[in-house]
Homo-oligomer: A and B are copies of this chain.
């Protein structure tokens, strides 16, 4: 299986596959002409890599347990859980921070809108609209 086929089979770009290899995530053997050849099993490995990348793990973290996970069940690999735990803590920190920014942003937008309405009221202060007080 050549790199183009692996790319086709996994939906991962050739560029990324070469990068994964460079990071020690996947292995290839070279043909005489220098072309990479992959075992069909590599497809599963790449799928696993996609999964872990989607969890926000780095290639370095993935490299730390991928071999074990591929050979055994994930639960057998003691390295996995600590990585998950650290990632979860990081994600939660980020969520808190984003929520804080979100709150600040909403507050400012509210204040801004209020201030604009006040300015408009000043401009149309001449014509007193009785309908305003009915609602």
A interface residues with partner B (beta carbon < 8 Å)? 54-56, 73-76, 80-81, 84-85, 87-88, 91-92, 94-95, 98-99, 101-102, 104-106, 108-109, 112-113, 115-116, 119
- B105/A91 in contact, CB under 8 A: yes
- B99/A95 in contact, CB under 8 A: yes
**Which residues of B sit under 8 angstroms from A101, Cβ to Cβ?**
54-56, 91
**Which residues of B sit under 8 angstroms from A55, Cβ to Cβ?**
101, 104-105, 108
- B91/A109 in contact, CB under 8 A: no
In the assembly, what is the distance between CA of A98 and CA of B116, in Å?
A: 34
**Which residues of B sit under 8 angstroms from A75, Cβ to Cβ?**
112, 115-116, 119
